[in-house]
Amino acid sequence: MPTQVTLVNNLSDPLAVSTTVTPALDAYDWGITASTVAAMSDGGILWMNRDKGITNHKTWTFTTAFEVAGVPVTVRERVTGTLVASTLEIQVTAGGTASDWSGAGPVAVPFTGTDGQTYTVTGALIGEGLLSFANVVFSVARTVLPRIKHMVVLVMENRSLDNLLGWVYDPAHPPAGYVPPGSEAAYEGLLPQTYANSNPDITGGAPVYASAGTTAWTTNSGTISPYQVPTPDPGEQFFHVGGQVSNNMGGFLTDYVVQVGEAKHPLGNAAQIMQSYAPDQVPVISTLARAFALSDAWHASVPSQTYPNRAFMLAGSSAGNVNNTRIPWDIPTLFDVLESQGISWAVYNDSILPSLTKVIFLSKYATNEKNFGSIDDFGKALADGTLPTFTFLEPSFGPLEHDRSYHPPYDVRPGENFLAKIYTLIAESPHRDDTLFLLLFDEHGGTYDHVEPPQGAAPPAPDPVATDGSDFPFNRFGVRVPAVVMSSYTPRGVVFRSPTDVPYDHTSVLATVRDWLGLQSAFKTLLPSPRIAAAPTLAPLVAGDTPQPWPALDLADDGALLASLASIPADTPLNDIQRDVLLAAAAAIGGRLHTEEERAEARAHLCTLADAEAWLRPLLPFLRRPAG
């Protein structure tokens, strides 16, 4: 069976290629299929026979040569005969720098062209197995982040920038600098007695100002901890967000009055929506924001809920949905792009319940065990040098384990501890200096922010207009969320904004991966969303030649914290994430997806934590425990 060798040209000019083999090999066993690969396209360059005529441990080397930006490049395949067929290894060379020969993982060599731009040539074996031989895909592209070999993205839940980091800087304690240069306007955070909402049922209609530090609140049945503000969970659906951002971000208090009333809490408690955490209340995220690069202009992709925003982060589209509805969504994702290029990826989550990524894309990844694992697996990959090229991390969302996602109304401190754990694993690992760590929150979750979401967002693809009945044309971004970029080459203590007229949003993750790994051609085919094409990348946040240290964090005693937390009442309402994770657990154990009718019926019965406990009781013996 022949092996096909393809060259992906992600450049704006065609590549003239020449291919030879040594020692000589009969034309029956190999052939040249192209001498030119067009710009922004894939082209087969040769084929080779691997199951006949190449035995007795003899070795042949196939060499394809071309030039990129004045630098000579070669890509090679080395075939060694065996008694039954042959083994295959690949190597890439650019400007005199060669990768090791590899018969398993991908190879890559970055280089600088005579034009001063950075390029990368890569190679990967695709599809080697018992019944087939591998094909080979080489790729060449202009790239960014040349010192980065791994990207880790941790996505937390439902907090606005103002809610967690509105007070992290102030006029007396400004950032050390701004990126890009020339954007030295003051940090767009909160200021005392400056931003307010009002409602006639709260304080007689007097302004309720955004304030520093959350406080305890009393209800008819107990006390709300300062670390559980706001309680109850604010509205996060599309129609709620529309009300919140109306009247120049003046609708948060009025929208929250409804939530508080439905929970039968004292109506005055709605004022807690205007409280934001002081830095000493959330010391982990505050320390990281001040130590690395914090954006004060990163917006959610959709003015709505979790699933659409996480889908934009991984697919550049939400399959026509503005709310957490009609899942699973079967659209191409970043993981499909990486898989097509032989690039390693993984999703690690902090629960024995299914990953939320699986929940959203269950029809695609329900049976995928290779790429989904636990946080213990993530720690092992960091320690033993097997960290994938791209890693997506998820906290626990409950209801089985403690919620560690910052999701209201749960205590934020377990989320702080989880963030500290992930950061420390990376900071103390051998991968630290070649890893870019990005912390994001998927959406604001109804918590207050004072900056109005911009209009003019590019449409997604597929489904540039919502097909769920809302007819939303996806032309407005969501509310601001915290975004912290960390690497050994990230400027310290800076605030960053977009270097273009388009703000950062979650599709910037995709745009960054595209340009970092040189996947322009694959994105053009699999992820052609105009939103991704318009998004700015994180290239300005990784600069310089000398790695800088990562500050150490004071790790809290997680066990003591969890033991000290008050038990969550059994009648606490479940959120959409918790319901759908429970449904996905049952689907995985049952070996089939639920019908829409079954989902609707189950969701109607999964209302509280007590319902979740009853649902999980028969499932727990079958849930796979994380390794380690």
Would you state the torsion angle of the CA atoms of residues 400, 314, 459, 166, taken in this order, to the nearest 10 degrees? Answer: 60
pTM for this model (two decimals) = 0.90
Residue 10 pLDDT > 50? yes
| Mean pLDDT of all residues in 265-273 | 96
Q: What is the pLDDT of residues 139-148, one digit of tens each?
A: 999 888 888 9
Neighbours of 452 (CB within 10 A): 15
Task: Please state whether beta strands 483-486 and 177-179 pair in parallel, antiparallel, or not at all (unpaired).
Answer: unpaired
pLDDT at 131: 43
Neighbours of 16 (CB within 10 A): 11
Note whether 270 and 256 are within 8 A (CB): yes
**Measuring CA to CA, which residue among 33, 109, 30, 100 is closest to residue 68?**
109
| Angle in degrees, CA 59, 139, 367, rounded to 5 | 90
Note whether 309 and 503 are within 8 A (CB): no
pLDDT at 536: 97
CATH class of 2-143: mainly beta
pLDDT at 69: 95
Residue 1 pLDDT > 70? no
Cis peptide before 200 (omega within 30 of 0): no
Cis peptide before 232 (omega within 30 of 0): yes
Note whether 347 and 394 are within 8 A (CB): yes
pLDDT at 602: 87
**What residue ranges do the domains of the chain occupy?**
2-143, 151-188+284-457+466-541, 196-275, 570-622
Q: What is the pLDDT of residues 307-347, one digit of tens each?
A: 999 999 999 999 999 999 889 999 999 999 999 888 999 99
Q: Which pLDDT band holds residue 128 (cuts at 50, 70, 90)?
A: low
Read off the tokens for 170: 């102030």
> What count of residues does the chain have?
628
* Element of type H or E holding 507: helix 507-517
| Mean pLDDT of all residues in 299-311 | 98
Q: What is the pLDDT of residues 438-478, one digit of tens each?
A: 999 999 999 999 999 999 999 999 999 999 999 999 999 99
* Element of type H or E holding 36: strand 36-37
pLDDT at 626: 43
| CATH number 3.30.70 given to 151-188+284-457+466-541 | no
Residue 393 pLDDT > 50? yes
Q: Which pLDDT band holds residue 27 (cuts at 50, 70, 90)?
A: confident
Largest CA-CA distance found in the chain, in angstroms, rounded: 91
Neighbours of 484 (CB within 10 A): 24
| Helices marked H in 128-251 | 161-165, 238-244, 246-249
Share of the chain above pLDDT 90, in %: 75
Lowest mean pLDDT among 386-390, 471-475, 619-623: 619-623
Residue 9 pLDDT > 70? yes
First-to-final CA distance of the chain: 41
Q: What is the pLDDT of residues 233-257, one digit of tens each?
A: 999 999 999 999 999 999 999 999 9
Average pLDDT, the chain: 92
d(CA 78, CA 64): 12
Note whether 401 and 418 are within 8 A (CB): no
| Mean pLDDT of all residues in 154-176 | 96
Share of the chain above pLDDT 70, in %: 97
Q: What is the pLDDT of residues 495-504, one digit of tens each?
A: 999 999 999 9
| Mean pLDDT of all residues in 586-607 | 87
d(CA 78, CA 91): 8
Q: Which residue has the higher pLDDT, 49 or 254?
A: 254
Residue 490 pLDDT > 70? yes
Residue 628 pLDDT > 60? no
d(CA 160, CA 242): 15
Residues contacting 559, CB < 8 A, separation 6+: none
Neighbours of 539 (CB within 10 A): 16
pLDDT at 578: 94
d(CA 237, CA 219): 25
Residues contacting 169, CB < 8 A, separation 6+: 175, 187, 189, 290, 495
Residue 507 pLDDT > 90? yes
Q: Which pLDDT band holds residue 133 (cuts at 50, 70, 90)?
A: low
